[in-house]
Amino acid sequence: MQIIMESKGIEKVLKIVEDDNGKIIGRAVVSEHENYVRLHLILVDKNYRSKGLGTKLLEKVLSLYQNKNITLSTFLGNEEWFQKYGFKIVNKHDGLISMIRPAN
């Protein structure tokens, strides 16, 4: 498996691709802004979950953008996973949580 990145304007799409058939089995979407990066989603194919692929995508995003603040919104229940990687809760509203990981 490998992670490839495609650019679409301010958006970057990181994809985990299977080596044998080129199937995309996971992706992360970020948008780059002057002072921060917004993580829009991390998604792994249901047949490949619980194998650490979401973690690989998040770690790649964190390594690419370690010098910028990274923001995201997630659903209640996911915040503990993001907190393991240095994200802090900024706001909670109607089951949605806003988080930020400060730049290093």
**High-pLDDT (> 70) share of the chain, %:** 100
The 10s digit of each residue's pLDDT in 17-61 is 987 888 999 999 999 999 999 999 999 999 999 999 999 999 999
Is it the case that residue 72 has pLDDT exceeding 90? yes
Distance in angstroms (rounded) separating the CA atoms of residues 71 and 4: 22
Give the confidence band of 83 by pLDDT, cuts at 50, 70, 90. Answer: very high
Put residue 80 in one of left, alpha, beta given phi > 0 → left and psi -120 to 50 → alpha.
alpha
Q: Domain locations in the chain?
A: 2-101
2-101: CATH topology is: Aminopeptidase (3.40.630)
